[in-house]
């Protein structure tokens, strides 16, 4: 068993790619990031390739940069590789043409992923790979984790031998993230497959001043064509070379592959042709159907380019009468997808040849399946085969969805199962992204994979949220290799675990349970009382399926074992104790062994605690007898808000929230990716264990709690007293303290109890303490469950109160601005997120006239990942209009919005002037000359525009209609360009820089978390010196890029660097100034992030320390000051007053390095302290400088004075 590994697809591939590479250029993109992360970590650990050298792993600013670096490394003679997916692969295409055109050996490993169209998707299909067909790269497919590893080796050997670069691909998530038990490829195999003479040939072709050549020339019409054709022999030979490499690999490992592998009945009549992970499921189904006597088969395409039709035809049984070609991509407007067409041409040409393979050309149909990881299971494979039996099969079809618009989809029987379901042990676990369920399950798979003969598979499904993300783990174990590349079906799991009682309310947890299955529930309710607390539907299922029911109070066990709130070990122990997959003693010994391996010397005592938790778990795990009778009452909480929802929301959004998206038919969907805003409020995720409770006797109505809330779950309203009279009894109202409001008005601060995440930041920031008891603040956390119903009623009442008049609110004060309605609420961002308060603030100040261009990243995921969006509207239906274009082009995308807005506004003005007679000169002048600098001015203009619209509709001439279509552009709009540091500092910097120089009136908000947060904490140029990050596993050696300084260099850009947790008023001021500045404004906002390795309940403290240590100086650079003869730069924070280490020592991103490279860590900390002091000093000097124009004037007058002196 020694050469068995239990790893995921990314690791399987990286494990080979790393060992046969010398230069590895990386850039993060889901789902391929894991390959780069592992390579970087291995290099930091000093792991060598098969030739004894440590590969050089380097992160670039974009995938385009990575491909360019690989190209250069190859040209200079090394073996180089890269990893990517989706848009990343598209950015590599220009270099791929070059690399292939120069016949340069390399392998790009691609975790195939959907390319963004009507929406972005991180999930797997072949649309990215198919976009590279023209590059000249060979395309080699893997279908499983084992194959991904093996093909990585085969591709590396073939490319060296045949000189064609290879794009090796495997399905994103389904293969890249599936954990499976595979046979390893040893170093000796790799060394044998990449012999010295082939490596030497690569060196020999390299550019070298010792034997110089010219490559990359520019060619004219006379030669380009011929030179391109000159390469044909290499393409012709390559399939043979790949087959040789496969054969050599087979000899060395016993695992044999063919360019086209056929499985199934030798006399099959119906055959499916496909590639990728779906082929595994198809093979499982074919084998099942063969056992039933059906003559079906599967042809797996491994080498897709160069296309080898002879090999394809040879692999098909001569008995084939009907073929279904399945493509995992969509080419809109084409008469079929690429694989289908290639197969079709091969068959047709062969049929027309002298010696056709088939007496009668088989019937060929084409189907699409599995786009963006859409489920593809045996029932669908069966439906495809069945589709070939009918007299007139659908020539073009889809499978796996219900297309009720163009009726392309094949029906399938969801009850269909293969034998594999009986032969494997399926288990499903519901957990949270934060509770360690996934890592515990990965650990369980490893235990079973490593310690037994069983094969194991794990696949993990996440929802799109960051706070309270639900994870569903699908595990399978069995005596044979597992080909089931699909989720556990309904009624197929022999074990179901619910790690969070929260899901009892929201999910049908027993849908997956097989009859007689074990159900494990983590609940604080004692075993003898738990039955009555279960939803009636669940009770019914438990009785009907004869479920064996176990409960554990995992949080209590963890607490008693001194493990805090860590329940992963407890739940894992329960699984081993009651699933019966291993004998209990053996299983418990294996877990303890795994604990020892995980913590080893570095966590001896935490290992002890784990042992204690394991032993305690066995005592505290109880079986609950399932009674024959079940309680009749359903305890589900009524869905309050759903009743007010629009038809769209009820038909589409609510089922999506309930996890029923797969069953929705095509007709329900918008055809262009357009969705309504204001939908996050329907989720009511009810995550908080505790919520803030206001003490009206202490509250001074400062508004800070509203200001810091990352989820807009605490709000303020000021209203006339009489409106509060109808309030529920427990609704809290206070007399308004400030004289800024009409006398007798009331103020309320209200929490949305089911939207709050319990992050405690509002309580933490609350400055008011009881004079006699400092532990009692004006806001204190209290248990949520007893307050939930009451506060939900209060929240509903609060929402009905009118919003405070935007035109009179004192928006330049914290309490005043916090009366403005947030138009960004209840996002799925992390608990305590440091980014969202900035976005919420922008929507409060400008939301009703905001256009948002959002770069891909965390802010686009919590901003616009279905099922819902946190962007919402005010009572008039106005609010931010939001879109995400790409990761790399966001600044340009926003610039386009500005240009269009300005141009259409100008069009409106031109047409307005032309219609002055009809409309009336006074009104036209008022519209043209409106002062819209203030909120009141904008409101007045809105009124004028609606009068104009009314008038235009009565005029009703073509000219009036033209003007009516653009009249709304006369109202001032605020264009916001929002994104993270990965975008602003790295991949989007070229565009950002250009937009900075444009002078256009756009507002750029950089949410600087100092890493690529969304893809899992990779190093960006914003990462500070001395921090470790993924792709900087050895610690970032360089100083953080100073984006503010770069922006200031343009002189006409408004620049602010803010940290709201350090100085909220400064942030507010910066936002107002930036928006009012009639040119480019950029706000660089410090955003603590979970990737910093600090609990985000310390978010504000860390912001404060970042500022005090000088790591994050607060600045504003306002070019308007220059016109007033003042220096535009104002340094708004004091010189560093604490050592950098006082800030850094609280964050694991810094402290990890102490333990990894102690000397480097000390050096970096010292250097970072110097950086901070130096930078602050430089800013201060800049801010105290005489303005250049003043200085020049002074110098000129001095010179003039001197000149005059001799005459005098």
Partner 1 sequence: MPDLSTTYLGLPLKNPLVPSSSPLSHDLDAILHLEDAGAAAIVMHSLFEEDVRHDEQMIDRFLVHPETFGEAAGHLPFGHDYQSRLDSYLEQIQRLKSRLAIPVVASLNGSSLSGWVELGKEMQAAGADALELNAWYMPSDPKVSGEAIEDHHISLLQELKTAVTIPVGMKLSPFFSSLPHFVHQAETSGAAGISLFNRFFQPDIDLETLSIVDRVQLSSSADTLLAMRWIAILRGSTSISLAATGGVHTAEDALKMLLAGADVVHLASALLKRGPQALSEMLVGITRWLEEREYVSVAQLKGSLSQQNSPNPSAFARAAYLHALDSFTPPDGVRY
Which residues does the annotation mark as catalytic? 30, 63, 113, 1014
Minimal CA–CA distance to 422: which of 334, 493, 487? Answer: 493
Contact between 1139 and partner 1 (CB under 8 A)?
A: no
Which part of the chain contacts partner 1 (CB under 8 A), choosing from 891-899, 945-953, 1030-1038, 1073-1081? 1030-1038
Rounded to the nearest whole angstrom, what is the least distance from the CB of residue 1089 to partner 1 in the complex?
A: 8
Pattern 471-500, partner 1, x by CB under 8 A: x-----------------------------
Residues numbered 632 to 691 that lie near partner 1 (CB under 8 A) are: none
Closest separation between CB of residue 1151 and partner 1, Å? 7
Report the alpha-carbon distance of residue 709 to residue 711 in Å, rounded.
5
- Given a contact cutoff of 8 angstroms between Cβ atoms, the answer to whether 98 and 124 are in contact is no
Would you say 41 or 1073 has its CB closer to partner 1?
A: 41
Can you tell me which of 33, 277, 686, 911 binds partner 1, judged by CB under 8 A? 33
Q: Which is nearer to partner 1, 45 or 1038 (CB)?
A: 45
Return the sign of the alpha-carbon dihedral for residues 1152, 1154, 1155, 1159: positive
Shortest spacing between CB 178 and partner 1, in angstroms: 13
Which of 34, 400, 426, 489 binds partner 1 (CB under 8 A)? It is 34
Residue 1116 pairs with which residues in a beta bridge?
Answer: 1056, 1130
Applying CB under 8 A, among 97, 462, 503, 745 the residue interacting with partner 1 is 462
Q: Is the dihedral of CA 27, 32, 35, 38 positive or negative?
A: positive
User: Considering only residues 359, 619, 628, 774, which one is a binding residue for partner 1 as defined by CB under 8 A?
Assistant: 774
Region 1033-1052 residues binding partner 1, contact defined as CB under 8 A: 1033
The secondary structure element, H or E, covering residue 991 is helix 989-996
> Which residues, 6 or more positions from 425, have their beta carbon under 8 angstroms from its beta carbon?
476, 477, 478, 494, 495, 579, 581
Judged by CB under 8 A, which stretch of 59-67, 71-79, 1145-1153, 1173-1181 contacts partner 1? Answer: 1145-1153
Closer CB to partner 1, residue 388 or residue 708?
708
How far apart are the C-alpha atoms of 912 and 1176, rounded to whole Å?
Answer: 51
d(CA 1171, CA 1098): 24
Beta bridge partners of 457: 180, 476
3-state secondary structure of 80: strand
Secondary structure (DSSP) of 812-858: TSHHHHTTSPPSB-S--PPTT-SSHHHHHHHHHHHGGGEEEEE-SSH
Vertex 64: Cα angle to 51 and 68 (nearest 5) = 45
Task: Find the binding residues for partner 1 in span 1153-1172 (CB under 8 A).
Answer: 1154-1156, 1158
List the beta strands (DSSP E) in 113-178.
138-141, 166-171
Task: Give me the least distance between CB of 484 and partner 1, in Å please.
Answer: 21
Closest separation between CB of residue 698 and partner 1, Å? 13
Q: Is 1191 left (phi over 0), alpha (psi -120 to 50) or beta?
A: alpha
CB 367 within 8 A of CB 326: yes
Token pair, residue 1035, equals: 């610690």
- Binding of residue 37 to partner 1 (CB under 8 A): yes
In the beta sheet, which residues pair with residue 1032?
1029
Nearest to 277 by CA among 421, 403, 374: 374
Task: Number of residues interacting with partner 1: please give it, by CB under 8 A.
Answer: 62
| Region 831-890 residues binding partner 1, contact defined as CB under 8 A | 861
Assess 1137 for contact with partner 1 (CB under 8 A).
no
> Between vectors from CA 504 to CA 501 and to CA 509, what angle results, nearest 5°?
115
Our finding on whether 1025 is near partner 1 (CB under 8 A) is no
Q: Which is nearer to partner 1, 206 or 461 (CB)?
A: 461
Q: At what angle do helices 145-162 and 232-253 cross, to 10 degrees?
A: 130
- Out of 77, 580, 720, 1093, the residue judged to bind partner 1 by CB under 8 A: 1093
Among 589, 1148, 1160, 1182, binds partner 1 (CB under 8 A): 1148
Question: Which CB, 170 or 1117, lies closer to partner 1?
Answer: 170
Residues 927/933/935/941 CA torsion (nearest 10 deg): 0
Residues 712-771 that bind partner 1 (CB under 8 A): 769
Rule CB under 8 A: is residue 700 a binding residue for partner 1?
no
Report the alpha-carbon distance of residue 831 to residue 1144 in Å, rounded.
21
Strand partners, 1006: 979, 1084
> Rounded to the nearest 5 degrees, what angle is found at the Cα of 977, between the Cα atoms of 974 and 981?
150
- List the beta strands (DSSP E) in 922-1034: 974-980, 1002-1008, 1011-1012, 1018-1019
Pick the stretch among 38-46, 58-66, 1070-1078, 1195-1203 that binds partner 1 (CB under 8 A). Answer: 38-46
- Applying CB under 8 A, which of residues 248, 1014, 1103, 1141 lies at the interface with partner 1? 1014
* Residues 560-619 within binding reach of partner 1 (CB under 8 A): 564, 566, 568, 598-606
Please state the closest distance from residue 1137 (CB atom) to partner 1, in A. 14
Query: Minimum CB separation from partner 1 for residue 33, in Å?
Result: 8
The encoded tokens of residue 529 equal: 């009382």
CB of 469 to partner 1, least distance (A): 6
Which of 39, 243, 1015, 1109 is close enough to bind partner 1 by CB under 8 A? 1015
The CA distance from 64 to 58, in Å, is 13
Q: Classify strands 296-301 and 270-274 as parallel, antiparallel or unpaired.
A: parallel
Name the token pair of 832. 């305590």
Of 26, 759, 1028, 1105, the residue at the interface with partner 1 (CB under 8 A) is 1028
Encode 881-896 in three state secondary structure. EEECCCCCCHHHHHHH
**Does the footprint of partner 1 cover residue 1013 (CB under 8 A)?**
yes
Q: Which residue number, 158 or 830, has a Cβ lying nearer to partner 1? A: 830
Numbers of helices and strands, H then E, in the chain: 45, 40
SS (H, E, C) 320-386: CCEEEEEECCCCCCCCCCHHHHHHHHHHHHHHCCCCCCCCCCCEEEEEEECHHHCCCCHHHHHHHHH
Can residue 45 be called a binding residue for partner 1 (CB under 8 A)? Answer: yes
Decide if residue 290 touches partner 1 (CB under 8 A).
no
Q: Which is nearer to partner 1, 402 or 1151 (CB)?
A: 1151
Which residues are within 8 A (CB) of 552 and not within 5 positions of it... i.e. 6 or more apart?
520, 521, 522, 523, 570, 571, 574, 617, 620, 621, 622
Query: CB 166 → partner 1: shortest distance, Å?
Result: 26
CB nearer to partner 1: give 45 or 529: 45
For the window 122-151, what string marks contact with partner 1 as x by the rule CB under 8 A?
A: x-----------------------------
CB of 987 to partner 1, least distance (A): 16
* CB 811 to partner 1: min, Å: 27
CB closer to partner 1, 373 vs 974: 373
The minimum distance between CB 58 and partner 1, in angstroms, equals 15
The answer to whether residue 1149 forms part of the interface with partner 1 (CB under 8 A) is yes
Of residues 427 through 446, those in contact with partner 1 by CB under 8 A are 433-434, 436, 438-440
Among 638-646, 647-655, 1023-1031, 1066-1074, which window interacts with partner 1 (CB under 8 A)? 1023-1031
> Smallest distance, Å, CB 769 to partner 1?
5
Binding positions for partner 1, 64-123, rule CB under 8 A: 122
Residues lying near partner 1 in the complex (CB under 8 A): 30-31, 33-34, 37, 40-41, 44-45, 122, 433-434, 436, 438-440, 460, 462-464, 466, 469, 471, 564, 566, 568, 598-606, 769, 774, 830, 861, 1011, 1013-1017, 1028-1030, 1032-1033, 1089-1091, 1093, 1148-1149, 1151-1152, 1154-1156, 1158
């Amino acid at each position: 068993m020694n050469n068995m590994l239990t790893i995921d697809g990314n690791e399987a591939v990286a494990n080979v790619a790393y060992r046969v590479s010398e230069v590895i250029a990386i850039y993060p993109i889901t789902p391929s990031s894991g390959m780069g992360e592992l390579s970087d970590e291995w290099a930091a650990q000093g792991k060598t390739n098969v030739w004894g050298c440590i590969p050089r792993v380097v992160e670039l600013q974009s995938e385009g940069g990575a491909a360019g670096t690989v190209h250069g490394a190859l040209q200079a003679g090394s073996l180089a590789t890269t990893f990517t997916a989706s848009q990343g692969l598209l950015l590599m295409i220009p270099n791929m043409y070059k690399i292939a055109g120069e016949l340069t050996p390399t392998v790009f490993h691609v975790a195939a992923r959907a390319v963004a169209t009507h929406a972005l998707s991180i999930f797997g299909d072949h649309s990215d790979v198919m976009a590279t067909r023209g590059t000249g790269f060979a395309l080699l497919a893997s279908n499983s984790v084992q194959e991904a590893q093996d093909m990585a080796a085969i591709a590396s050997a073939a490319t060296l031998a045949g000189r064609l670069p290879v794009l090796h691909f495997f399905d994103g998530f389904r293969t890249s993230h599936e954990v499976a038990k595979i046979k390893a490829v040893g170093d000796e195999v790799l060394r044998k497959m990449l012999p010295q003479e082939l490596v030497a040939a690569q060196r020999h072709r390299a550019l070298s001043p010792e034997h110089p050549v010219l490559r990359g020339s520019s060619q004219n019409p006379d030669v380009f064509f011929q030179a391109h054709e000159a390469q044909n022999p290499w393409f012709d030979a390559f399939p043979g070379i790949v087959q040789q490499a496969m054969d050599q690999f087979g000899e060395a490992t016993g695992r044999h592959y063919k360019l086209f592998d056929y499985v199934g009945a030798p006399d099959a009549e119906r055959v499916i042709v496909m590639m990728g992970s779906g082929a595994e499921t198809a093979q499982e189904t074919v084998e099942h159907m063969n056992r039933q006597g059906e003559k079906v088969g599967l042809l797996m395409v491994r080498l897709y380019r160069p296309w080898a039709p002879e090999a394809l035809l040879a692999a098909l049984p001569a008995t084939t009468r009907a073929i279904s070609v399945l493509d995992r991509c969509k080419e809109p407007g084409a008469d079929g997808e690429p694989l289908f067409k290639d197969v079709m041409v091969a068959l047709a040409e062969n049929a027309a040849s002298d010696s056709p393979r088939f007496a009668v050309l088989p019937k060929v149909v084409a189907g699409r399946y599995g786009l963006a990881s859409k489920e593809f299971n045996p029932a669908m494979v069966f439906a495809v085969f069945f589709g070939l039996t009918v007299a007139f099969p659908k020539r073009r079809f889809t499978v796996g969805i219900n297309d009720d618009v163009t009726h392309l989809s094949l029906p399938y029987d969801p009850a269909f199962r293969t034998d594999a379901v009986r032969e494997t042990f399926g288990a499903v676990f519901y957990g949270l992204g934060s509770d360690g369920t996934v890592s515990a399950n990965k650990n369980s798979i490893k235990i079973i994979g490593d310690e037994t003969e069983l094969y194991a598979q794990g696949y993990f499904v996440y929802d799109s949220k960051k706070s309270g993300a639900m994870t569903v783990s699908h595990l399978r174990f069995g005596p044979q290799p597992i080909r089931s590349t699909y989720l556990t079906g309904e009624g197929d799991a022999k074990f179901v675990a619910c790690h969070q009682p929260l899901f009892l309310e929201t999910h049908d947890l027993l849908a997956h349970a097989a009859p007689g299955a074990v159900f494990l529930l983590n609940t604080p309710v004692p075993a003898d009382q738990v039955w009555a607390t279960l939803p009636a539907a669940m009770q019914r299922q438990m009785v009907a399926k004869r479920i064996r029911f176990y409960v554990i109070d995992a949080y209590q066990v963890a607490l008693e074992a001194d493990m805090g709130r860590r329940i992963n070990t407890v739940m894992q122990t329960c699984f081993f104790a009651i699933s019966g997959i291993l004998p209990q003693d053996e299983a418990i010994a294996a877990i303890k062994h795994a604990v020892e391996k995980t913590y080893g010397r570095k966590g001896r005592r935490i290992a002890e605690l784990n042992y204690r938790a394991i032993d305690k778990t066995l005592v505290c795990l109880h079986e609950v007898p399932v009674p024959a009778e079940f309680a009749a009452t359903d305890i589900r909480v009524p869905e309050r808000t759903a009743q007010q929802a629009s038809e769209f929301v009820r038909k589409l959004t609510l089922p999506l929230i309930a996890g029923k998206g797969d069953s929705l038919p095509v007709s329900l969907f918008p055809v262009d990716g357009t969705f309504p805003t204001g939908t996050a409020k329907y989720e009511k995720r009810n995550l908080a264990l505790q919520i803030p409770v206001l003490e009206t006797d202490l509250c001074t109505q400062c508004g800070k709690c509203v200001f810091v809330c990352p989820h807009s779950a605490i709000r303020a309203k000021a209203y006339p007293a009489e409106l509060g009279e109808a309030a529920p009894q427990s609704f809290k109202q206070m007399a308004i303290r400030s004289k800024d409001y009409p006398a007798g008005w009331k103020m309320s601060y209200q929490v949305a109890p089911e939207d709050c995440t319990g992050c405690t930041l509002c309580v933490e920031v609350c400055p008011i303490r009881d004079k006699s008891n400092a532990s009692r603040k004006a806001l204190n956390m209290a248990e949520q469950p007893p307050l939930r119903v009451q506060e939900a009623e209060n929240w509903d009442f609060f929402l009905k109160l009118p919003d405070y008049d935007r035109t009179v609110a004192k928006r330049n004060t914290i309490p005043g601005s916090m009366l403005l309605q947030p138009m960004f609420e209840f996002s799925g961002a992390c608990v305590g997120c440091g980014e969202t308060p900035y976005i919420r603030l922008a929507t409060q100040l400008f939301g009703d006239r905001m256009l948002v261009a959002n770069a891909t990243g965390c802010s686009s995921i919590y901003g616009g990942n279905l099922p819902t969006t946190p962007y919402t509207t005010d009572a008039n239906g106005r609010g931010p209009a939001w879109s995400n274009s790409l990761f790399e082009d966001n600044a340009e995308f926003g610039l386009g919005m500005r240009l269009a807005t300005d141009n259409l506004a100008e069009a409106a003005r031109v047409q307005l002037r032309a219609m002055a007679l009809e409309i009336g000169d006074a009104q036209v002048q008022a519209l043209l000359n409106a002062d819209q600098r203030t909120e009141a001015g904008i409101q007045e203009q809105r009124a004028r525009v609606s009068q104009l619209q009314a008038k235009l509709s009565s005029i009703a001439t073509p000219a009036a209609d033209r003007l009516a279509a653009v009249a709304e552009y006369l109202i001032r709009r605020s264009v916001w360009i929002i994104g993270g540091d990965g975008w602003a500092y790295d991949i989007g910097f070229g565009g950002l820089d250009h937009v900075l120089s444009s002078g256009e009136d756009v507002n750029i908000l950089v949410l600087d978390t100092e890493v690529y947060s969304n893809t899992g904490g990779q190093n960006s140029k914003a990462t500070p010196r001395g921090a470790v990050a993924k792709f900087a596993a050895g610690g970032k050696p360089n100083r953080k890029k100073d984006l503010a300084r770069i922006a200031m260099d343009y002189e006409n850009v408004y620049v602010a660097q803010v940290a709201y947790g350090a100085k909220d008023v400064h942030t507010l001021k910066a936002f107002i100034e930036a928006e009012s500045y009639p040119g480019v404004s950029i706000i660089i906002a410090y955003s603590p992030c979970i990737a910093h390795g600090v609990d985000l309940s310390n978010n504000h403290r860390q912001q404060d320390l970042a500022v005090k240590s000088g790591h994050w100086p607060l600045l504003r650079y306002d070019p308007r000051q220059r016109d007033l003869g003042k220096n535009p730069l104002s340094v708004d924070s004091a010189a560093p007053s604490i050592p950098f280490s006082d800030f850094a020592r609280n964050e694991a991103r810094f402290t990890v390095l102490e333990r990894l490279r102690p000397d480097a860590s000390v050096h970096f900390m010292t250097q970072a302290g110097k950086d901070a002091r130096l930078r602050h000093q430089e800013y201060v000097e800049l801010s105290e400088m005489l303005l250049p124009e003043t200085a020049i004037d002074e110098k000129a007058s001095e010179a003039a004075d001197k000149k005059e002196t001799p005459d005098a």
